[in-house]
Amino acid sequence: MNAVNLVGDFSKLFSQLRWLKWGNCPSNFEASNFHAGELVILDLSGSAISDVWQGWHSMMKAEKLKVLNLTSCHSLKGTSYLSAFKRLEILILRDCSALEQIDNCIGDMENLISLDLSGCSLLERLPLQMAKLEQLKELLLDETAIQEIPSFISSLKKLDT
């Protein structure tokens, strides 16, 4: 879907939805009873969503989510909504130009393998809780405002250098 506004009751639709690519998702979320519980891949690239987007309430039910792509979501400033996605393996926040901080909850994502923060030009630091990301193999930080690599990076043994 691209630039589609979902409106109405979705109680009988999408109950087995595994992959949702919803580019240019609108900032308002008007769908009720949206089933996200089976989602494995969620791609909201280029969307006008923010940290307080009403759709997060439905998407947080996606406990099986492994891939979250938020590339070029320019209204995102933080990542508190990530707390529900403990099984994530790939998190893409590339070119989220307003992103200022990564929430501490990222340390709870024990399965995270890849984290792309490149192009997040306002991001100045990484939370210490990232030291708990023992499975992390890929960390992309180019074109961020991070000036110094945190010392905990050395504890990430699987990180490709």
Predicted structure pTM score:
0.90
At 1 the pLDDT is 59
User: Domain boundaries in the chain?
Assistant: 1-135+142-161
Q: Over the chain, what is the mean pLDDT?
A: 87
3-state secondary structure of 97: coil
15 or 135, higher pLDDT: 135
CA angle centred on 65, ends 122 and 155, rounded to 5°: 55
Rounded Cα gap, residues 22 and 7, in angstroms: 14
Hey, what CATH class is 1-135+142-161 in?
Answer: alpha beta
Phi, psi for residue 73 in degrees, rounded to 5: -90, 90
- What average pLDDT does this structure show over 102-130? 96
- Work out the pLDDT band at 105, boundaries 50, 70, 90: very high
Q: How far apart are CA 50 and CA 43, in angstroms?
A: 15
CB atoms within 10 A of CB 12: 8
- 32-50: per-residue pLDDT in tens? 566 677 889 999 999 999 9
Q: 49-74 pLDDT, tens per residue?
A: 999 888 887 888 888 999 999 999 99
Distance CA 101, CA 124 (A): 8
Bigger pLDDT: 6 vs 74:
74
Q: Given the DSSP bridges, would you call strands 67-69 and 90-92 parallel, antiparallel or unpaired?
A: parallel
Q: Is the dihedral of CA 86, 87, 89, 90 positive or negative?
A: negative
